[in-house]
Structure 1
Amino acid sequence: METLNVEPEIQQSTPTRRHLNRYALFCSILASTNSVLLGYDIGVMSGAVLYISETLHLSSVQVEILVGTLNVCSLFGSLASGKTSDYIGRRYTIVLAAATFLIGALLMGLAPNFAFLMAGRVVAGIGVGYALMISPVYTSEISPAMTRGFLSSLPEVFIVFGILLGYISNISFSPLPSHINWRVMLGLAAAPAIGIGFGVMAMPESPRWLVMKQRLPEAKEVLRRVSDSEEEAEFRLTEITKAAAQEAAARGDNWKGQGVWKELLWCPTRPVRRMLVAAIGINFFMQASGNDAVIYYCPQVFRAAGIHNKTKLMSINVIMGLSKTAFVLLSALYLDRFGRRPLLLLGSAGMTLSLVVLSVGSKFIHTEHRPMWAMVMTIVSVCTFVSFFSIGLGPITWVYSSEIFPMRLRAQGAGLAISVNRLVSGVVSMTFLTISAKITFAGMFGVLAGIMFVGTLFFNRFMPETKGKTLEEIGALFEDKE
Structure 2
Amino acid sequence: MKEEEIADPTTEKDERVETPTYAHSEEKIEVLPDVEDRSRGHLNAVFENPLAGIPREQLFKDVAEFCHKYDLMDHVETFKKGALISQDPAKATSLPELTDDERVALEREHTHKWSQPWQLYFLASMCSLAAAVQGMDETVNNGAQAIYMKPDQLNITTANIQGLVVGAPYLACAILGCWLTEPLNRYFARRGTIFISCFIAAVASVWEGVCNTWVNLFIARFVLGLGIGSKSSTVPVYAAECSPAPIRGALVMMWQMWTAFGIMLGNIMGVAFMSLSPDLSWRLMLGSTVVLPLIVCAQVYICPESPRWLIQHGKIEKAYTNFRILRPTDIQAARDLYYAHAGVELERKINKGKNFFTMFVELFTVPRNRRATWASWIVMFMQQFCGVNVIAYYSTSIFTEAGYSLTSGLLASMGTGILNWVFALPAFFTIDTWGRRNLLLFTFPFLAIFLLWSGFSFWIEADNNSSKARVAMVTTGMYLFEVFYSPGEGPVPFTYSAEAFPLHVREVGMSWATATTWCFNFILSFTWPHLVQAFKPQGAFGWYAAWCVIGWFLVLLFVPETKALTLEELDQVFSVPTRKHASYQMKNAWWHFRVWVLRQDPPPLPPFYQNAERLAEVGNFALE
Tell me which interval the TM-score lies in, with the shorter structure as reference length: over 0.9
State the distance in 2 between where 1:404 and 1:274 align. 9
Match of 1:420 in 2: 516
Give me the whole-angstrom Cα distance separating, in 1, the residues matched to 2:515 and 2:251.
Answer: 22
**2:381 paired with 1:284:** yes
The answer to whether the 8 Å contact 1:47/1:299 transfers is yes
Contact 1:16–1:468 (Cα < 8 Å) also in 2: no
Post-superposition CA distance 1:368-412 (Å, at most 9, x none): 864533322221110111221111011111100100100011111
Q: Which of 68, 83, 86 is matched with 2:167 structurally?
A: 68
Shift of 1:333: 2.7
Paired residue for 2:278?
Answer: 178
Query: 1:151: which partner in 2?
Result: 251
2:201 maps to 1:101: yes
Aligned pair partner of 1:219 in 319, 323, 329: 319
Contact in 1 for aligned 2:348/2:504 (Cα 8 Å): no
Shift of 1:114: 1.3
The corresponding residue for 1:32 is 128
Amino acid at match of 1:402: A
Work out the CA distance in 1 between the residues paired with 2:467 and 2:337. 63
Change (3 A) 1:372 1:465: same
Q: Per-residue deviation at 1:42?
A: 2.2
What does residue 393 of structure 2 align with?
A: 296
Q: Which amino acid aligns with 2:164?
A: I
Whether 1:136 and 2:233 are equivalent positions in the alignment is: no
Question: Could you say which residue in structure 2 is the equivalent of 1:264?
Answer: 363
Offset at residue 306 of structure 1 (A):
2.5
Shift of 1:473: 0.5
TM-score, length basis structure 1: 0.93
**Aligned equivalent of 1:247, options 341, 347, 370:** 347
Q: Does 1:443 align with 2:547?
A: no
In 2, Cα distance between equivalents of 1:3 and 1:301: 50
CA distance in 2 between partners of 1:341 and 1:100 (Å): 35
Q: Which moved more, 1:130-139 or 1:35-44?
A: 35-44
Residue aligning to 1:328: 424
Q: 1:425 to 1:2 in 2, by over 3 A?
A: farther
Give the Å deviation of 1:88: 2.1
Contact 1:100 1:127 in 2 (8 A): yes
Q: Aligned residue pairs: how many?
A: 474
Q: Quick check: 1:46–1:295 contact (8 Å CA) kept in 2? A: yes
Whether the 8 Å contact between 2:399 and 2:412 is mirrored in structure 1 is: no
Deviates more, 1:80-89 or 1:359-368: 359-368
1:71-116 per-residue CA deviation (whole Å, 9 max, x = no partner) reads 1112221121123213321110001110111121111111122111
**Residues 100-148 of structure 1 deviation map (CA, whole Å, 9 limit, x = unaligned):** 1112111111112211111110100111111111110100000000000
Q: How does 1:386-405 map to 2 (within 5 A)?
A: 386-405=482-501
1:270 offset after TM fit, Å? 1.1
Which shifted more, 56-65 or 95-104?
Answer: 56-65
Cα distance in 1 for residues equivalent to 2:162 and 2:308? 43
Superposition pairs for residues 102-117 of structure 1, below 5 Å?
A: 102-117=202-217
Q: What is the alpha-carbon distance in structure 1 between the residues aligned to residue 300 and residue 261 of structure 2?
A: 18
Shift of 1:258: 6.7
Q: In the alignment, residue 171 of structure 2 is paired with which amino acid?
A: V
Partners of 1:203 and 1:367 lie apart in 2 by 57
Which protein, 1 or 2, shows the higher relative CO under an 8 Å CA cutoff with sep ≥ 6? Answer: 1
The one-letter code sitting in structure 2 at the alignment partner of 1:302 is: F
CA contact under 8 A between 1:39 and 1:160: conserved in structure 2? Answer: yes
Give the Cα–Cα distance (whole angstroms) in 2 for the partners of residues 315 and 202 of structure 1. Answer: 37
Corresponding residue for 1:352? 448
Distance 1:113 1:23 in 2: 45
Greater share of helix? 1
Residue type of the alignment partner of 1:105: S
Deviation readout 1:219-266 (Å, 9 max, x if unpaired)? 11111111122221122112201110110112338x88574223224x
Which segment drifts farther, 232-241 or 427-436?
232-241
Q: Distance in 2 between matches of 1:406 and 1:366?
A: 54
The one-letter code of the counterpart of 2:360 is: W
Secondary structure at the counterpart of residue 338 of structure 1 = coil
Distance 1:73 1:365, change over 3 A: farther
Letter in 2 for 1:440: K
Query: 2: CA distance between counterparts of 1:292 and 1:121?
Result: 17
- The residue type paired with residue 161 of structure 2 is Q
- Alpha-carbon distance in 2 for matches of 1:258, 1:216: 27
Amino acid aligned to 2:110 = T
Aligned partner (choices 442, 461, 469) of residue 373 of structure 1:
469
Q: What CA RMSD, in Å, does the superposition of the two structures yield over aligned residues?
A: 2.2
* One-letter amino acid matched to 1:70: P
Q: Which amino acid aligns with 1:63?
A: Q
Structure 1 residues 360 and 475: CA distance shift in structure 2, 3 A: same
Residue 557 of structure 2 corresponds to 461
Residue 471 of structure 1: aligned partner? 567
Change (3 A) 1:131 1:370: farther
1 CA distance for matches of 2:358 and 2:303? 29
Give the Cα–Cα distance (whole angstroms) in 2 for the partners of residues 363 and 289 of structure 1. Answer: 22
Where does the alignment leave 5 or more consecutive residues of structure 1 unmatched?
none
Change in CA separation of 1:65 and 1:367 when aligned onto 2, cut-off 3 Å:
farther
Preserved contact between residue 355 and residue 381 of structure 1 (Cα < 8 Å): yes
Contact 1:103–1:120 (8 Å) recurs in 2: no
1:339 aligned to 424, 429, 435, which one? 435
Rounded to whole Å, the distance in 1 between the matches of 2:273 and 2:532 is 29
Indicate the percent of aligned positions where both proteins have the same amino acid.
25
Q: Which position in structure 1 is the counterpart of 2:154? A: 56
The one of 173, 176, 180 aligned to 1:80: 180
The letter of the residue matching 1:392 is: G
2:372 maps to which residue?
275
Amino acid at match of 2:525: S
**Greater shift after overlay, 288-297 or 360-369?**
360-369
Q: Which residue of 511, 519, 525 corresponds with 1:429?
A: 525
Letter in 2 for 1:191: V
Q: Which amino acid is 2:362 matched to?
A: E
Q: TM-score w.r.t. structure 2 length?
A: 0.73
Residue deviations 1:43-62 (CA, integer Å, cap 9, x gap): 21110111111222322332
**8 Å contact 2:453–2:473 — kept in the other structure?**
yes
Offset at 1:164? 1.0
Aligned to 2:336: 236
Distance 1:207 1:360, change over 3 A: same
Answer yes or no: is the 8 Å Cα contact 1:82–1:414 preserved in 2: no
Residue 433 of structure 2 aligns to a residue whose secondary structure is: helix
